[in-house]
Every structure is written in structure tokens, then in C-alpha cells.
Amino acid sequence: MDVVLEKRQVQRAYELYAPIYDYIFDWIFAPGRATAVKQLKLEPNDRVLEVGIGTGLNLPLYPPAVRLTGIDLSQEMLDKAVERVQTLTMPNVTLKVMDATSMDFADNEFDKALATYTISAVPDPVAVLSEMRRVVRPNGTIVILNHFRSERRLMGRLEDFVAPVCTRLGWKSNLALRPLLAQVGVKPELIVKVNMFNGWRLVKCVNRK
């Protein structure tokens, strides 16, 4: 079952989520987020892109010297991120409203890129990951953290069944990992299951161009 997630659904969903997003998603998904940022193996002065930065829950995990650019489709979510940047006093952070399927960045502009809990909440995950490849330099690091369709037959069918409901809430429950990576032309260096019940997968790739 292929359920199409539309841009306006995502925008509407996250406009509604913005005021309560931190309360719902912070503690539940914090272990995975910490592991994802750690897998970037950040060096001083790295140029880092975070796709779908949302309210900025990952911001405290970044070293101060890192030059971070965060993008999100939702202005309401970014407003929360701006407040967090000011509270944490992070002068090296730039936040922009941007469609991740068509980024306004040059080729090879970043050393590393991260997307946590974002890839299944965009209308075109192939385009987003392809754009991440484009803007990350050769041999740079790309880390994505997401729920992907289970490779167990029964659970996968259940995720297909609930996909129409999840799509109305702004995300896809049955996004398959390996076809996504194959379409984009990347191979995972590392796949790790994280969070409660190991229900989410962290995928680390080296951007071989």
C-alpha cells in the first residue's frame, strides 16, 4: 500500500504539534537523538546541516564550535528553536525555513548532515536524502534516524494497515529503508536499533560520490 504524504499535511500537522512537541517527543526519543549526534563524530568547526530541526531538541547535544545550520518546513517549530538557541547562547547556529526537497545550498557546502525523525515526515523522502547527498561533501557523513517499515512480515503488514491514519497525522508508518537507500544510491556503513523496543533505526552513511 502506497499512501502519499502531501506537503500541506505536514505543515498543518506540525503547526498543531509545535506547542506540545517537546513534551511528547523529548524523553521518548532522547536516547536515539543522542546516539545519532554522537555518530556524526563532530570535529571543531565542522559545517553541519540538520534537516527537520524542529523545535531544536538536538541543539544541546552539539559542541559549541560546530557551525550548525538547521532547516525546517514549519515556521512555528523554528520559532521554538530560535528561543532555544537564544537560551543556550549558540552564536554559530543558523536557522532557516526551507523545503528539504529543494535546498537553497550549494553542492558540497556541508561536512556532515543529520535528520532525526524527519525522513518519514516528508512528502518525498528520496528527494530529501538525495539533497542531503548533494549538499554534503564527498566522504562526508550522513546520519538518519527514523522509524522504518518492519522487515518482519506481520509487523510490516500492520504498518501498511495503519498507514492511512498515520499519513493524516503527518508521517508514514511504512517507509521501507533499503529501497529508499537504493533509490538514492547510498550504502549504510552502520544500522543500529534504538529507543524503546528497538523500534527505530539509526543509519550512518559515508557520502561516496
Helix intervals (H) in the chain: 7-17, 21-39, 75-88, 125-135, 153-169, 177-184
3-state secondary structure of 121: helix
Within 10 angstroms of residue 7's Cβ, the number of other Cβ atoms is 13
pLDDT at position 8 is 54
pLDDT at position 74 is 87
pLDDT at position 113 is 98
Indicate the residue type of 139.
N
67-72, strands of its sheet edge to edge? 93-97, 67-72, 47-51, 110-116, 136-146, 200-206, 188-194
pLDDT at position 4 is 45
Pairing of the two strands 93-97 and 67-72: parallel
Within 10 angstroms of residue 76's Cβ, the number of other Cβ atoms is 17
Indicate the residue type of 64.
P
pLDDT at position 196 is 78
Q: Name 143's bridge partners.
A: 114, 204
Location of C-alpha cell 552564536 = 91
Pick among 3.40.640.10, 1.10.3210.10, 3.40.50.150, 2.40.10.340: CATH of 7-206: 3.40.50.150
Among candidate residues 184, 160, 183, 182, the one with its CA nearest the CA of residue 173? 160
Between CA 156 and CA 50 the distance in angstroms is 29
On the 0-12 / 13-18 / 19+ scale of CB atoms within 10 A, 151 is exposed
pLDDT at position 164 is 54
DSSP for residue 6: P
Mean pLDDT per 10-residue section of the chain, whose length is 209 residues: 47 52 70 96 96 94 94 91 94 96 97 95 92 98 90 64 50 81 96 88 95
CA 202 to chain centroid, in Å, comes to 10
